[in-house]
Every structure is written in C-alpha cells, then in structure tokens.
C-alpha cells in the first residue's frame, strides 16, 4: 500500500515535471529565434542601421541625399525598401553642383515644383536589385526597367566593359552594397521627359512675359485699307485699337500683328489662355467663370486670338458665389453671357498694385472694357479696390490670381453690370412748358398786329382778330 502511494507515483510525477520543463524551455528558445512581425501600431516598416537608405544619407553623395530630404521622399523610400530591394543610381556631387544648369536647379528647388523634383529623384531608383554582375550586356535589345516614377530606364554594357544607364555612364559600380539594396555611382543626372517638358513650358512662359508687344498695322477708317507700315519702336503698344481687331470693317479685315505668324513668333495666345483657365480651376472658387469662357461661349478662343495679335488683357473674374446669384432672365437672352463677360475684360494690363496706386492717386478711375461704350469705374474702399457703384459694386477679392505679362486675372466678389441709361423724362416736361410759353407769345403778337391794322382803317377785313 505504501509502495504504490509513495514510491512509484512519486517517480512518475518527477519524470513528468522534468519533461514538461524541458519542452517549455525548447519552445521558448525556438520562438525567440523566429523573426518578430512588426507591431500593428507602426504602419511604416522599421529601417535598421544597415539599410541602403541610411548608407545613402551617410555616403559621399551628399547632394543627392540633400535633394531627397528636400523632396520629402524618405517615407516613400522607406515603404519601398520594406517591400522589396532597390537599386539607386547616384549622380556624383559635381554633376549636381557645377555641371547642372543653374536655371534648372532653381526650377527644381521652387516650392511649387515639388512634384517635378520628386519625379526626378524617383527616376533614379529601380524597385529591384541589380548588381554589377547582373548587368545586361550588348547594345541590341537592351532591357528596360521600371522606376519608382513609373518611367523606364534602359541599362546597357558596351564591349569595353563600360556600363551605362540611359545617357549616363556608371563610374562607380556597386559603390554601396547593403542587404536591402545597392547604389551605383553615375557621371550625370538623369532627367525624365515629363520633368524636361514641364521646365521648358515654364521657361517659355517666362520668356513670353518678358517680350513687349510689337506694333500692329494701322487701318484707314475711311477706306478700310491698310496704311503704309512704318517701323514701330520696340516696346510700343499695338497701333490698331483693340476694338478694330475685334470687329473689323466690312470690306477688309485688319492684318494680324506680328505674333505667331511673324518672323519672331513671340506670342502664343491660345496656350496662355489655356494656362490661365487651368490656373483658375486649380486656384478654386472660379469654376463657373472658366465654364462660361470655354463651354458656354467662344470667349477663350477670342481672347487667345487677341493675345496672339499682341494685345494685353485684364480679366475681372467673379467667383462662384457671385456667379450663383445670376438669375435665369439675365442669362437667357441671346448673347447675354458674352455681354456680361465683355464688361469684365479690360484691354489693359493691370495688377493689384497698379490699380490700387491709381485709385489712391486719382480717386475714381474709369477703365475701358470690351463692351463698348461702357466703362468700369474703380475707386479705393476699405484699403482695397472697389469696382462699380451702388448695389452692383464688387471688391477685389483674390488679387493677382494669374499674371504673365500678357494676361492678368483679378478675382472679384460680384458680377458687374454697366449702369442703365436713364430715361429722358425731364426733357419731356421742359418741352411741354416751352409749348405753353410759345402759345402765349403767339397770342400777344396777333393782338399787336390787329391793333396796327385797325389803326390803318382795315378793321372790316380783319374782323377775325377781335
């Protein structure tokens, strides 16, 4: 009885306890050896000190690392490294300091061109690991690889063993090798086509805005024929008034000013009008104005033609809140949208500063509009510029939305209408009073004539005078 209670059961329990402890220790050691999954609280992957990104920031490619930080691309690159290995083509510092065009570098560092800078840098990164030993050889059928900017890069290797990436030669293959990526040093900066087109577009707009208009031919208003073209000094405004350019004579239309068809081809009014309409859409709050210019009317085409012929325009653009107050009766009449918009187009180039200085100096200023013969009145009010008078006035709400030297867009908070022509009621009253006076004067003259005839003894013949 005692043997079964104190002998064998005790040995069995000791053996079971020993085996259980060994199993728990082995399980804990195996679990600690497995890689831990990232915690759900952190969305971005953890980058260790041996990462290729840390190596890039601490490498000799300081100019590239500085651009990556300015472009705010570190979170994007951390996500890319967490998903797959990457290959970075790093231009040498001299290519970004001395060899790069200063105007292009200034363009990249402008705050408004952050997307272009990001596209440029992501063009140098391939979401795949390509070492120097995996480089494709031969010039025919070079494979292309997709980059993080959704563009393609072609890798090639010449017979002399020189490796190249597009137009740049690889000067330091496998410059930095890490478990999650590799960095190759290249001799020059790689520029994608989209960034190059954006830079050329901005540069062309800047050059267009710096060119002063050339004179237009003059039309004889009597014969509607072109006068003898005289040399026009540089910077002179068009000789032909803008109204004649809009509505030419019935017999002969005026020849266009030296614009795109001229020898220099400075002005591209269509692209400038498209640019300012896109600026209105991106600015926000002026969608109705853009819709009227493009869809409801042909004013965008007319404005582009005028700018191409050398003229300048200032657009007083009502915002969406002001356009929403227009009634159906105001827009239902034929040509009503065009007439409304014509009253908001000033054939001058005015900015907020120029208009405010004018109204501060002269009080009220009347600007010509394309809606003849009406003019829009501007005056200073509450530290800003106020257009119109009375209830139909509007304030300068968003100044200088778009200014390129040819077209100026100024946002206002109301729709302007020309003052209505007053009826000539006082003139009618005056004419009636004049008639009464003339009748009384006529009676006096007849009375005097009858008296004179009576004095000469002719009373019997002129009895009607009595």
Task: State the CATH number of the domain containing residue 172.
Answer: 2.30.180.10
In the block, tokens 């510029």 appear at: 385
Residue 9 in domain: no
Q: How far apart are CA 40 and CA 225, in angstroms?
A: 81
**Among 205, 233, 258, residue at a domain's last position:** 205
Tell whether 10 is covered by a domain. no
Looking at 205, 222, 241, which one is the last position of a domain?
A: 205
- Encoding tokens for residue 238? 């068009």
Give yes or no: residues 191 and 317 share one domain. no
Burial class (CB in 10 A: 0-12, 13-18, 19+), 127: middle
pLDDT of residue 387: 94
d(CA 263, CA 258): 7
CA distance 81 to 128: 10
Domain shared by 173 and 278, yes or no:
no
Task: Tell me, yes or no, whether 305 and 198 share the same domain.
Answer: no
273 and 190 fall within a common domain = no
Supply the range of the domain harboring residue 384: 269-412
Residue in the structure block whose two tokens are 């040819």: 406
Q: Indicate whether 273 and 346 sit together in one domain.
A: yes
Report the alpha-carbon distance of residue 157 to residue 134 in Å, rounded: 11
169 and 273 co-located in one domain: no
- pLDDT the model gives residue 270: 86
Residue stretches of the chain with pLDDT short of 70? 1-47, 137-142, 159, 204-266, 421-466
Residue 114 lies in a domain: yes
Domain membership of residue 322 (yes or no) is yes
pTM, rounded to two decimals: 0.39
Residues 285 and 408 reside in one and the same domain: yes
Structure tokens, 250: 């019935």
- Is residue 274 located within the same domain as residue 157? no
Q: How far is CA 291 from the centre of its chain?
A: 16
31: CB partners within 8 A, 6+ apart: none
Helix axes 193-209, 269-283, angle to 10 degrees: 110
Distance between CA atoms of 147 and 119, rounded to whole angstroms? 10
Say yes or no: 86 and 195 in one domain: yes
Asked whether residue 326 is assigned to any structural domain, the reply reads yes
Domain identity same for 61 and 197:
yes
Residue 426: its pLDDT value, please? 46
| Contact predicate 321/286, CB 8 Å | no
- Give the torsion sign (CA, 62, 67, 68, 72): positive
Q: Are residues 187 and 275 in the same domain?
A: no
- Predicted pLDDT of residue 455: 61
- pLDDT in the model for residue 245: 57
Residues 385 and 301 in one domain: yes
Provide the pLDDT for residue 434. Answer: 43
For 387, residues 6+ apart whose C-beta sits below 8 A from its C-beta are: 316, 376, 377, 378, 393, 394, 395, 396, 412, 414, 416
pLDDT value, residue 356: 92
Asked whether residue 155 is assigned to any structural domain, the reply reads: yes
pLDDT for 4: 45
pLDDT score at 226: 64
Q: Which residue has the tokens 């004889």?
A: 220
- 44 lies in some domain: no
Flag whether 273 is in a domain: yes
User: Could you give the CA distance from residue 114 to residue 120 in angstroms, rounded to a whole number?
Assistant: 10
Residue at which a domain ends, from 190, 205, 220: 205
User: How far is 169 from 187, CA to CA, in rounded Å?
Assistant: 6
Kindly state the tokens that stand for 103.
Answer: 């105007």
Number of domains within the chain = 2
- Using an 8 Å Cβ cutoff, are 152 and 140 in contact? no
Q: Phi/psi at 186 (nearest 5 deg)? A: -120, 165
């Amino acid at each position: 009885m005692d043997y079964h209670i104190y002998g064998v059961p005790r040995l069995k329990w000791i053996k079971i306890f020993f085996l259980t402890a060994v199993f728990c220790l082995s399980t804990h050691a195996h679990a600690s050896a497995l890689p831990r999954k990232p915690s759900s609280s952190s969305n971005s992957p953890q980058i260790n000190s041996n990462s290729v990104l840390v190596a890039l920031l601490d490498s000799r490619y300081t100019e590239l690392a500085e651009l990556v930080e300015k472009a705010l691309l570190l979170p994007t690159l951390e996500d890319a490294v967490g998903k797959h290995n990457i290959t970075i083509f790093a231009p040498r510092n001299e290519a970004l300091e001395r060899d790069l065009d200063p105007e292009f570098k200034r363009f990249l560092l402008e705050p408004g061109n952050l997307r272009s800078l990001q596209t440029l840098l992501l063009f140098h990164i391939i979401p795949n690991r390509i070492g120097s030993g995996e480089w494709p050889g031969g010039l025919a059928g070079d494979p292309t690889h997709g980059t993080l900017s959704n563009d393609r890069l072609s890798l090639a290797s010449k017979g002399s063993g020189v490796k190249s990436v597009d137009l740049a030669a690889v000067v330091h293959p496998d410059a930095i090798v890490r478990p999650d990526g590799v960095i190759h040093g290249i001799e020059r900066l790689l520029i994608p086509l989209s960034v190059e087109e954006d830079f050329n577009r901005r540069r062309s707009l800047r050059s267009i805005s710096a060119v002063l208009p050339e004179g237009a031919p003059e039309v004889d208003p009597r014969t509607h024929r072109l006068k003898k073209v005289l040399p026009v000094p540089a910077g002179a405004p068009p000789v032909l008034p803008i109204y004649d350019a809009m509505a030419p004579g019935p017999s002969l239309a005026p020849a266009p000013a030296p614009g795109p068809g001229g020898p220099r081809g400075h002005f591209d009014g269509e692209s400038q009008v498209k640019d300012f309409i896109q600026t209105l859409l991106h600015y926000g709050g002026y969608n109705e104005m853009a819709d009227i210019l493009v869809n409801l009317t042909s004013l965008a085409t007319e404005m582009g033609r005028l700018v191409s012929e050398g003229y300048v325009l200032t657009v007083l653009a009502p915002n969406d809140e002001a356009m929403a107050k227009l009634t159906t009766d105001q827009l239902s009449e034929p040509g009503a949208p065009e007439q409304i918009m014509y009253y908001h187009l000033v054939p001058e180039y005015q900015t907020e500063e120029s208009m405010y200085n004018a109204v501060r100096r002269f009080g009220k200023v009347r600007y010509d509009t394309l809606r003849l013969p009406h003019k829009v009145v501007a005056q200073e009010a509450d530290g800003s510029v106020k257009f119109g008078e009375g209830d139909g006035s509007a304030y300068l709400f968003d100044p200088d939305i778009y200014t390129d030297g040819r077209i100026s867009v100024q946002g206002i908070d109301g729709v302007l209408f020309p003052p209505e022509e007053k009826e000539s009621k006082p003139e009618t009253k005056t004419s009636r009073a004049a008639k009464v006076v003339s009748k009384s004067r006529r009676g006096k003259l007849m009375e005097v004539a009858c008296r004179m005839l009576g004095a000469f003894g002719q009373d019997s013949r002129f009895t009607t005078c009595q």
